[in-house]
Structures are given as C-alpha cells and as structure tokens.
Structure 1
Amino acid sequence: MEKHSQRPEPKNLNSVWRFLRRCLFSVLSFGPMPKHIAFIMDGNRRYAKKMQIKEGSGHNVGFTSLVSSLQYCYEMGVKYVTVYAFSIDNFKRKPEEVGSLMHLMKEKIDQLLEEESIVHKFGLKLNFWGSLDLLPEPIRSAAEKAMVHTANNTGPVLSICVAYTSTNEILRAINKSCARFEDKTGEGSDPANSILVTDLEENLDSASCSEPDIVIRTSGETRLSNFLLWQSTFSHLQSPNLFWPEFSLRHLIWSILEYQKVYPYLEARRKLCQES
C-alpha cells in the first residue's frame, strides 16, 4: 500500500508564505509607505560572539539577513535601499580582519551578479558609494563591474556604501562643485559665493536617489556614525535592540508602522522647511 506524506511540499509552503506576505504588505500599504530605507548593519561581530561561532561568520549570516530584507522591501514597493557596508574608519581595524572583510565583500558582490540572485529577480540597479579608490583592486573592479552590469536595469536601486563616510562624501561633492565652477568660469574664479546648495547636492553620491524616509541602525546604537548626515534631515531614525543578523520581517514591519505613526509630523516639518 502506497504511503502518502502528510507534510506539505516545501514548494507549496513557499507559495503560501508568499501569498501571506502579499496580503500583509497590501494591508500595510493603506498607510504612507517609505520610498527609501537605509540600514546601518551593526552587530555582526557581536552576534558571532553571542552565538559562539567562528569570528567572521556573523558577516555571512548578516548577508543572508540583508538579502531577505531586500526581498521584503522590494516586494512591498520600496524603490531605494541603501546599506552601510564598510566605513573608511573600518580600515583602522586589524589588517587580518580588514583582509577577511574585503575577501568576503568580493565574494558577496560576485554572488549578487549570479543568475539566480536577487539582482536578477528584481532587476536591481547597483550603486557603490564612497571613495572606491581606497579599496583593494579586486574589490574595486568587482564593484565597478557590478555597476556597469546593472546600469540599464529599471527595477529598484540598491546602494552599497563602502570606503564611505558622510563627511568624505560631502568633501568630495564640494571639490567636484568647485571643479565644475572653474570649468565654466575659468581658473582663478572664486566659487565661495557662487556655489549653491543644489550644486552640492548634485555632486553627492546620493544625487540620483530620494532622501531616506527611514534610517535603521541595529544593535540598539543611536549614533549615525558618519552615515548620510546630509540626507537624513527628515528621516525617521530607528535603533532596534538586536544585532543585524537577527533582523527579520517582523522587525521591518514594525519599523514601517513606526514610520507611518510619525509621518504627519515629518511631512509637516519638511513642508515648513521648504516654505522658509
């Protein structure tokens, strides 16, 4: 007599889970939805220590958490996601740790370009923000290849901040603005009273993206750590008390609900600023 398993097929479970997510996101969309969410992915090393796993393994788990979070964001219609992957200040860590992180970064960038990756699934456009010239050659080449490979994609945008700090981004934008001013007016011209805020914003790494509606930093830290300082004037800053590898759908849903709760206040402040 043939035996029949009582367990649903994994494929069917995935279909049911996707359907439930669509229902949940549909309900969530009755409120104002963010167009741009930025993540400071903090706590990978502390997660590894907490779980007593090999040092560096926390970043692998963190990448899995990132891919899941990206999928949920894009399924609910978020157009832009920006992540803080590696600060310029991180180069001050132990050489072996920096080397390990660079190797992992190259591996993950290559994975993003694989046929079955989230990039192909959603038609993502990849940006890399920061002083890429500070990166080792294999990493810089991989980042440049990823940007060229996805330049014509019309889906959501994933911006990855590497060798990045906000003050460095602003400094580079000032230098670019001054250089463009001199190209137009000739050398020796003084740009001090001629460069506008709009000129500076056009030369920021984030020029092609809207400002983040939500900035989430995990591990309970309340500092921006030199991340998107210019762009986050009207962002809703959140600091959930968990490590980045532990960040899940329920935390993302809660973040959006918190944003929807304060949205009227944020919009009022934004309009007031625009009128003044």
Structure 2
Amino acid sequence: MRLNVRCVSAYAFAIENFKRTPEEVDALMSLAEEKLLEICQHGDLLGEYGVRLNVLGKTSLLPPRVQAVITKAEEMTRHNNRAILNLCMPYAARNDIAFAVDSTIEHAIAEGWDREITEDDIAAHLMTAAAGSPPLDVLVRTSGVKRLSDYLLWQCSENTQLQFSNTYWPDFGLWDFVPIILDYQQKVWAGASSLKAVSS
C-alpha cells in the first residue's frame, strides 16, 4: 500500500501440492483455514485500506471447510475497490489457461459469434481478469529458485519483468521489495525514453 501497488497475487498452494502426503496436505489446509479466518476477524483492516480479497484457482478441490471460509472472506471484502489481493490456491497456470479457453468457447457459442476467437478473448476469461486484476508488471520468485513453477504463465508472457530473490518467502519484506520496484521503474523509464527517441 505504501508503494501504491494496486494488485498483489501470491502463489499460496499449487494443484500439484495435492500430491504431497495426506498429513502435509491436511496441515496446509488447516493453515489456510486458520489464516483466512484471521482475515475475516480483521476484515476492518482490509476495509480501511480498501483491499478486495480474491481466491483464484480450482477451489472445488479444497475441503468444504476451507471453501466456506473463502466465501466468507471474499464476501466481506467484495465492496473494496482500492487494491486487490489474490491468493492463488489451488492454482496452476495450465489449468487457468484451459479453463479460460473452455469459458471463451462456451461464451462464443452462447453469444453466437461469427468470428475467430482471439488471444484477447481468452485473456479476458483468465482467473486474474475475472477478478479485476490489472496486467502483470512484475513477477517475483523468492527462495533463490529460477523457475516459474506453472504460475501465471499467460499473464507474464508479455511485458512482465521477472525478478528473482534469494530471500525465502517467509522472510521476504519491504526491504527486499523496494529494490525490485526501483529496478522496475528504471527499466520502464528507460523504455519510455527510448520510445520517445525513436518517435522523434
């Protein structure tokens, strides 16, 4: 909020994570339920800052108790419109793309389109677009890992800066984030300057 970032998406749980041991999955589901309940209990804080919470992913795979608290948390913040917090769980970019293609085809049939389906049509049906998220400017991968791990693949395929941090996610804070924002701004300004030079 201090840096005027309008939308943050966090990869909380991958669909692939369901392949972990039942004990691990159950512990992670309990943690998700606990943290979402905390959000519900402190909904006034999200309201104060105007943050809308969205949970993006194949939520039908989650236990009913987690689905119920997701619904409650989303409904509590639905009227907020200053910023967006997307929790992606359980999420996979390939599933997101497949869902968007399927939804686009259904929409085209229902509307009786007599034209080809475009990339823009599919992009409009991605989970992030449906949640009102703006285009993805920066994707940060923490923990020293240099792979995207099936996360927001369509969204980061054009004009998105990829940033890699050695800091592990639980320790990632403002002082890790500020250099990333400054680097992003520098590259945007440099790009704008070169465009002006070309168009002059």
**1:1-276 alignment runs, 5 A limit:** 74-115=1-42, 118-185=45-112, 194-207=116-129, 208-232=132-156, 233-264=158-189
Distance 1:117 1:224, change over 3 A: farther
Query: Which runs of no fewer than 5 residues in structure 1 stay unpaired?
Result: 1-73, 272-276
Aligned residues: 192
What is the letter of the counterpart of residue 240 of structure 1? Answer: S
Q: Secondary structure at the match of 1:238?
A: strand
Instruction: Please tell me whether Structure 1 or Structure 2 has the larger radius of gyration of its CA atoms.
Output: 1
TM-score normalized with structure 1 length: 0.65
- RMSD of aligned Cα (Å): 2.1
TM-score (norm 2): 0.88
Greater RCO structure (CA 8 Å; 6+ sep): 1
User: Do the aligned residues in 2 keep the contact of 1:111 with 1:117 (CA within 8 Å)?
Assistant: no
Equivalents in 1 of 2:59, 2:172: separation in Å?
Answer: 28
SS in 1 for 2:86: strand
Alignment identity in percent?
33
Shift of 1:264: 3.7
The separation in 2 between residues aligned to 1:102 and 1:135, in whole angstroms, is 8
- For the 8 Å contact 1:79–1:156, the answer to whether it is kept is yes
1:265 Cα deviation after fit: 5.4
| Structure 1 runs (4+) greater than 6 angstroms displaced | none
